[in-house]
Amino acid sequence: MNTNTIAAIATGMTNSGIGMVRISGENALEVIDRIYRGKHKLSTQESHTIHYGHIYDEEQLVDEVLVSIMRAPKTYTGEDTVEINCHGGMLVVQKVLETVLKNGAQMAEPGEFSKRAFLNGKMDLSKAEAVMDLIHAKSEYAYKNSLNQLSGGLKKKIKECREKVLYEIAFIESALDDPEHISLEGYNEKLIQITRQLQEKIVSMLASFENGRIMKEGIKTVIVGKPNAGKSSLLNMLLGEERAIVTDIEGTTRDVLEESVNLGGIKLLLMDTAGIRKTKDTVEKIGVERARTYAKDADFVLYVVDGTKPLDENDLEICEILKEKKSLCLLNKMDLQMVIDEAEMKKHTQGEVLSISAKEGIGMDTLAKKIKEYFFKKEIDFNDDIYITNVRHKNLLEQAYESMKQVEQSIQDQMPEDFYSIDLMSAYTFLGYILGEEVEDDLVEEIFSKFCMGK
């Protein structure tokens, strides 16, 4: 393992009140002693203490600082760690880092602090990936789920499954080695029940992936409707700014506008599309066709209907497109004289109907509540619920599930008991890969290379 002492800026590269430079490695305390001037020599001080002083580049003052000293192994990386808290100007922080690098540290690679924490046994791979997800969380749900995984929620469930699998492997091997004292009579029936219970646990985790993906990535939401139904007004209202052009001229929106918004703790990836109608305009035709395509590929569709005008063939076409989609019909312009009511609209669409005024912002709270109900059938408290958000975890759970299914098949085919051990061991290994046990070095490098610098 590389034991070089590394350093990097651990705060955002922007002007702010405070910036931080982190140092980690066996020579971290030696490095800080060379550049810090204060009341005490820092390498002689107790762990987990903070000290006021100044950073010097030889005889040149760099900045006034507070320095945290943390000794191995009770640190994030498991190594001696120093954190220099300085003034947050970009130039100031960069000057502190340059001074640290001149005095014995090497520039850290992206994610190298977290990688060292993993390699030093301070966290498993699922926790490391949760750190990255937490940094990139863009909604309340993504944030809470990342915190839950970071606290070991996923690791606990995986370890429980692995312990049960390992017990059965050990029992089979012991029975085969010592048949005089350990009998396998009636064991097949017991093992089938155990494998089915484990399959149920794995299926339960896999079933959470779609919701987990939505938490992490957001709901791909397409806004459709006829021209001038109020689609762009809805987009602007949700964003809280005039992002889309709104006029009384039909066909103003020609292409797809893409934005993201946090609505009630859920991230929506919003796409405002051209109004769907029959048209001879070549450019508008392309926009209309794109609207149809985007609607078919979306996770969720918001169908905006102008409630002040009767339905026509264009509305019926849209209703046909949405038959197989998760959708919500928004009966817009309720602040004006309506000629369509919710009961009438429900005759033509399979989704729920909600009356709103995109222009006046009426119904937005109910809209957020309805979207949450569509995707999360119960209130999420994150106490016991684990949501799989990582494709790597999903693929490994699927492989573990197939291995458990193969154990059951071998029992039904009356195969020798040592066949059970082979597939049980495969399941045990796949589950272990989630936590980072026995993973290849190139996978570790790939995962941590996606981290930001300084983490």
Query: Span 369-384, mean pLDDT?
Result: 64
| 285 — pLDDT class (breaks 50, 70, 90) | low
Mean pLDDT, the chain, as a whole number?
Answer: 84
Is the domain of 429 the same as that of 360? no
pLDDT in tens, 288-337: 677 677 777 888 888 888 889 888 888 888 888 788 788 889 998 998 88
pLDDT at position 373: 79
The answer to whether residue 201 sits within a structural domain is: yes
Is pLDDT above 50 for 183?
A: yes
Is pLDDT above 50 for 226?
A: yes
Is the domain of 112 the same as that of 156? no
pLDDT at position 247: 39
The answer to whether residue 340 sits within a structural domain is: yes
pLDDT in tens, 118-173: 889 898 888 888 787 777 777 676 777 777 777 788 889 999 999 999 999 998 88
Instruction: Give the CA angle between residues 171, 176, 180 to the nearest 5°.
Output: 100
Candidate from 65-74, 119-128, 201-210, 226-235 with smallest mean pLDDT: 226-235
- Cα 385 to Cα 153: distance, rounded to the nearest angstrom: 8
pLDDT at position 18: 93
Query: Span 377-399, mean pLDDT?
Result: 75
Where are any strands of DSSP class E within 315-373?
A: 327-332, 352-355
The answer to whether residue 52 sits within a structural domain is: yes
| 241 — pLDDT class (breaks 50, 70, 90) | low
The answer to whether residue 226 sits within a structural domain is: yes
- Cα 365 to Cα 57: distance, rounded to the nearest angstrom: 56
Q: In terms of C-beta distances under 8 Å and separation of at least 24 residues, what long-range contacts does 438-447 make, across chains too? A: 439/125, 444/115, 444/118, 444/119, 444/125, 447/111, 447/125, 447/128, 447/129
Task: Select from 375, 397, 417 the last residue of a domain.
Answer: 375
The answer to whether residue 34 sits within a structural domain is: yes
Is the domain of 314 the same as that of 229? yes
Q: What is the CATH number of the domain that holds 97?
A: 3.30.1360.120
pLDDT in tens, 49-72: 999 999 999 999 999 999 999 999
pLDDT at position 245: 40
Is the domain of 405 the same as that of 262? no
**The three-state (H, E, C) secondary structure of 156-183, written as one string:** HHHHHHHHHHHHHHHHHHHHHHCCCCCC
Number of Cβ atoms within 10 Å of the Cβ of 72:
16
pLDDT in tens, 62-104: 999 999 999 999 999 999 999 999 998 889 999 999 999 999 9
Query: Span 178-195, mean pLDDT?
Result: 88
pLDDT at position 288: 63
Is the domain of 160 the same as that of 227? no
Q: What is the CATH number of the domain that holds 222?
A: 3.40.50.300
Is the domain of 425 the same as that of 336? no
pLDDT at position 443: 66
- Residue 399 domain boundaries: 138-208+388-434
The answer to whether residue 455 sits within a structural domain is: no
Tokens 């937005």 map to which residue? 364
Task: Select from 124, 157, 180 the last residue of a domain.
Answer: 124
Is the domain of 225 the same as that of 360? yes
pLDDT in tens, 345-366: 888 887 788 898 888 888 888 8
Is the domain of 175 the same as that of 265? no
The answer to whether residue 131 sits within a structural domain is: no
- 281: three-class secondary structure by DSSP: coil
DSSP 445: H
Is the domain of 152 the same as that of 266? no
Is pLDDT above 80 for 281?
A: no
For residues 418 and 384, the model is more confident at: 418
Is the domain of 366 the same as that of 394? no
The answer to whether residue 259 sits within a structural domain is: yes
Q: What is the CATH number of the domain that holds 145?
A: 1.20.120.430
Query: How many domains does the chain fold into?
Result: 3
Cβ distance 306 to 332 under 8 Å?
A: yes
- Percent of the chain having pLDDT more than 70? 87
Is the domain of 271 the same as that of 350? yes
pLDDT at position 254: 40
- Cα 368 to Cα 266: distance, rounded to the nearest angstrom: 8
Is the domain of 202 the same as that of 185? yes
pLDDT at position 399: 96
